[in-house]
Each structure stands twice: as C-alpha cells, then as structure tokens.
Amino acid sequence: MTNTLLQDWTTPFGIPPFADISDEDFKPAFEASLRTARAAIEEIANASEVPTFANTIEALEQADAELSKVLGAFYALAGADTNDARNALMREFSPALAAYGSDITRNEKLFERIDDLWTRKDALGLTDEQERVLMLTRRGFVRAGAQLKGAAADRLAEIKERLAVLGTSFTQNLLKDEADWFMDLQENDLEGLPDFVVAAARAAGTERGAAGPVVTLSRSLIVPFLQFSSRRDLRQRAFEAWAARGANGGETDNRGIATEILALREERAKLLGYSSFADFKLETEMAGNPGAVRDLLMQVWEPAKAAADADAVILEAMLHQDGVNDSLAPWDWRYYSEKRRQAEFDLDEAELKPYFQLDRMIDAAFDCATRLFGLTFTPLEAESYHPDVRMWEVTRGRKHLAVFIGDYFARPSKRSGAWCSAMRSQQRLAGDIRPIVVNVCNFAKPADGEPALLSYDDARTLFHEFGHALHQMLSDVTYERISGTSVARDFVELPSQLYEHWLDVPDVLKTYATHAKTGEPIPEALLERLMAASTYDTGFQTVEYVASALVDLAFHDGAAPADPIEYQAKVLADLQMPAAITMRHATPHFAHVFAGDGYSSGYYSYMWSEVMDADAFEAFEEAGGPFDPAMAKKLEQHILSAGGSQEADELYVAFRGRMPGVDALLKGRGLAAA
C-alpha cells in the first residue's frame, strides 16, 4: 500500500493532501524519509571528490528534502489540530530528530569537508549569498559541538535528545491543562457581560459538550471575561486557573521539566566553552550578549513600572469605591482598567468590537499588502486539515508567489497563542520553490451564522502574524537556510511588529472597520477615541512583558536555579514587581522559553524588534506616508525578500541608513518623559 506522504502530490501548488493522509501514515513516512536523509548525509561525507560548494553545502541543503516535506505536514497538524495519536508521535519524533541532528554535526568527515571549504573560501569564487550560507553552516556545526570529541561529544548528544523530549512534554502538558479546564457559568453569572462575551461562552460550552456557557483558558475568551465580569469571585477562580497552567501537580506539571531544562542548557553551554547559556544563545543575535539585553529591558522597565504603579493607585481606589475592602489583585486589573477606559475615553469594548469583523480585518491586511507590495490574494478551494481553515493563492502580476493558509479559531485541539509557520519554504536551489505559509490564531469562534468579532488587540495579532507571513511569502533567495524568517531571533519580529502599524492607519480603519450589522464605517468620533486610547494601560502591558523577558534572561545568565519558581519570585521581588500584575508567561506555562530553544534567552526579542519597528514606521511617515512606494520597495528589498542573506544590523541599516535608539519605542508606548 502506497504512503501518500511519500508520493508526489498533485494538489494545487503542492499543498499537503490532508484528506488522503492518516495518522498511521506518519510514522512509516518519517522513518523512511529519515533513512533517506541519513543515507544522503553519508554519501556527502564519504565522497571521494575534493569538496566543492555544490557537492557539500548544496548537497547538504537538499539532503533532507523528503523529511522536511513529511514534517511540514505533520507539525502543521500537531500544533493546530492535535490528538492523542499525534501527541504520541511528537514524543517519538522529537528525540529521533535530535539524534539525527547530533549525528550530522558529529560526523567528522562531513565537518572536515565543510572546514576545508571555509579555509579555501576566498579562492572558490563564491557569491555573497553562498559565502553567507557556508559561514552559517560551519558556525552551526561548531555551535552544535562538531569540534568536541569523546565523552564530551557523547554527553552533548544525550543532552540534545533529552531536551527534545522535555520540550515536547512541556508543550503537551500545557495543551492538556488548557484543553481540560473550563468553568461552568449559570445564567445569572452572565449578567453585565457584553453580548460578544456571552456568545463566545455559549459557543465554547457547546464545543465542550457542557450544559450551558463556559469560560475556557483560551486567551480570546478568558481575557474579555476578566475585563467585563463584575463577579470578583468568578474572576479570581478563572484567573487562578489561567495562572496555574502547567503547575497543577500530577502528570501535566511542568515545574520539574523546567528545572531539568535549565540545568541541561547550562551544561550544554559549558561543554561548548561558554560561561552561561545566555552567552551561548545571544552570540549570534543582534544583541550579542546578556548585558546589552538587560540594558534595553531596564531602560523600558523603569518608566513602565512608574506608569503601572500610578495606574494601580487609581484602580485600587475604584475597587474600594465598589465596597471591596481589599488590595487590588491580578484578577481585578483588567476589570477596573476597562471601566476606567470607558470613563476616560468613552470607549466601550462592546461598542468597538462589532467594527472589527474577522473577515474585514483579513481584507484589510490583504489590501495593505496589495498597496505596499502589489500582491493579490485569490481564495483557493482545496482540502485542508480542519473545516475552519481557509486558503489563498498569492500572486503578483501573473506570477505565483505563495499559498497562504489562515487558521483563525480557538479549539481544544490547538495549542494556545498565535504563530506563523511554513509547511514549505521559498528557495531556488531545487527549482523555483514557492512557500506554503500558515497563520494560526486562537480567536473566539462565533455561533453558527454570526460574524466572528475581534477585539482591537485580536486585530493587531492578525496583522502581526501576517507580517511574519509576508516575510516568508516575499522571500527571494537561493538557499532555504537563509529563506524567509531564517534570521536572528531578535530581528525576526521586526516585519511582524512593523506590519501592526498599518492597522492604525486612519484610512485603513475607515475602510475596513465596518459594523457587523449595519455595515456602516466606524464613526469618526469613535475612531478618534480609539486612537486617543492607543497608549492606554501600556504600563501594565509593558510590565507583564518585560518582567517575563527579565526572568527568562535571569534563568539563563548564570548558574541554573535549583528551583525556578523560587528564583522567579526572587527576580520579581528585586524588580519590585507591582503586586496586581503577573508575568505575561509564568515559568510553568512559558512555552516560548521551555517548549524549545527558540526564544530561550530570547523573549526580549519582541522588544528589541520593537525598537526597530517604531523607527522603521517613522521612516514611512517621514517620507510620503504609510504607503510610500519608495519606502515599501526598500522594505521589501532589504528586509522582507532578503531573509538571512546578511547580518541583521546590515539589513536594517541598508533600509534605514542607521540603527535606531529606544526613544521611538518609548514614545510609541506613551512612556517617554514629558
């Protein structure tokens, strides 16, 4: 019987034929494609010919093409629509992939060929892009331990495999906690909640098979519940469940996993000759070292904390006015902040939300890309992995550029948060390969027949992830190693955070923020109030984020803590963290940091990129406005299409002419000194 995953796909643009793929196909396809990749690596390493860029580096680039094809389909499902079988496969695949990676970097003959090319690079007639790929390949081998021998090399391989297992377990524990918990609501518990929250709670109850409406741990439902519920007891119960994800004891508890991960990361760094994991991790980032990261975060922390402390005094007074003789608590902040926002800006989320329909915000994101980069988005009729998923062909002129997939609604089978991934990345080495790009979000799904309504923050998330998608779709390089978002971690958020700015462009909102029932555009007065409130509560938002980034950095900049929860508390105490604000991601559910190495020592990167995105949008404003064609061309040429073909600071300077300072960020967040 043929395995669909190992066949040539005749679907439009090579989209995985999900309807023909069963969970039983994945393991044999994975094992077969892994064998093929291993055989290709051995052939490269043992070649008798003198090493050339083509027979070594380019061959390496293509060695695991079949494996990447299989995993592209698998991980799309494992993140966005998982089940017990897929979870089990993830636990099996993770250590096998880690072992495969270790075997490659430990292959002495292979590294000798790469090292030989590096010593002769000036005589090879390489293009700039080829020299960059050679450098990255060699550096990756060295950082993976290619120069280690004997017991040290064996131990590093063991650490990598164990970290892969732990990261997968951390993710699956978190998903299970999020999927299992919900709080039943009686009809009188709904009193005072806006219609959109009630509708989302009823839809969630139906999806969970509950007798009535429920609150789940999906951010798109629990946050508005915390904003609007007047029931302090229910807010507390919901918030404490949300904060306790990954720390509930039993099989899904992540605290021990976090402890082991941190210890193994420290050991890994020491084996490679670094004083700490942060030093190891940040060596290849724009920041360069932990001190630069801490300096940036503290420049923002002080004004943000001052703003949050001032806000807390006001919100606690409101709590007391309601007859509650208690201190302001984390489950109170959003509720009283929303009441204050309504009072100060006459801005009611319930009044605002009908103007932010999901379909209209998708149209807005597409239209901005059309005006900036000449892109066209045409709906595709193709079978995907879930009925909620939508697809578009992306073209410019008559040229096919990409397939874009949008998976927007929360469901128990989907991990929390929002992300962009590529089932297939752009490259030209194996032909003109165009990407298949996926945006995954967790917006509240409406009842049948009702429009999906977003909060303004949800709309920003949609634009953010679409900025990542543009980075993938507009990529124009030869080698997949430097394609799309394959850039420094503290640069990768620049395109996404920059794209958020176009949501705030007045004519974009006037065109696409139309009322779900009347179709009328957002009133000028409401738009003005929305813009006036754009920096409202940024003290809270900045504190919860920067606290998380500082804890992440502290975990990795020095000896691994024996008790991460205790150490987290110490870091926050030293910062004098406001009592009514918690970390955006506390340790047991800090998936950015513990689900894998991606954002470990790197959660700061959102803020590092924000320094650039604030400055980059100012470049448009200083030119001809948000849709200035010359600036759009420079943005595409030097950042969106360039991938990792140069160092990140070189790319930014080519676009802007200089590196930015923190001033534009503080101004944009309303935290600059008066």
* Length reported for the chain: 674
Distance CA 221, CA 216 (A): 7
CB 326 within 8 Å of CB 318: no
**Read out DSSP for 640-666?**
ITTTTSS-HHHHHHHHHSS---SHHHH
Q: Does the annotation count 465 as an active-site position?
A: yes
Distance CA 216, CA 208 (A): 9
**Read out DSSP for 15-39?**
---GGG--HHHHHHHHHHHHHHHHH
Nearest to 391 by CA among 409, 405, 378, 401: 405
CA within 13 Å, CB half, 177 = 25
Mapped onto helix, strand or coil, the DSSP state of residue 218 is coil
Distance CA 507, CA 146 (A): 54
Count of beta carbons in the 10 Å neighbourhood of residue 399: 9
CB 296 within 8 Å of CB 611: yes
| Structure tokens that stand for 572 in this block | 């926050």
383: buried, middle or exposed (CB in 10 Å: 19+, 13-18, 0-12)? middle
Paired with 184 in beta bridges are 214
Catalytic residue among 465, 493, 500, 544: 465
CB 442 within 8 Å of CB 393: no
Q: What angle do CA 291, 296, 298 make, to 5 degrees?
A: 90
CA within 13 Å, CB half, 193 = 28
Residue at 39: amino acid letter: A
What residues act catalytically?
465
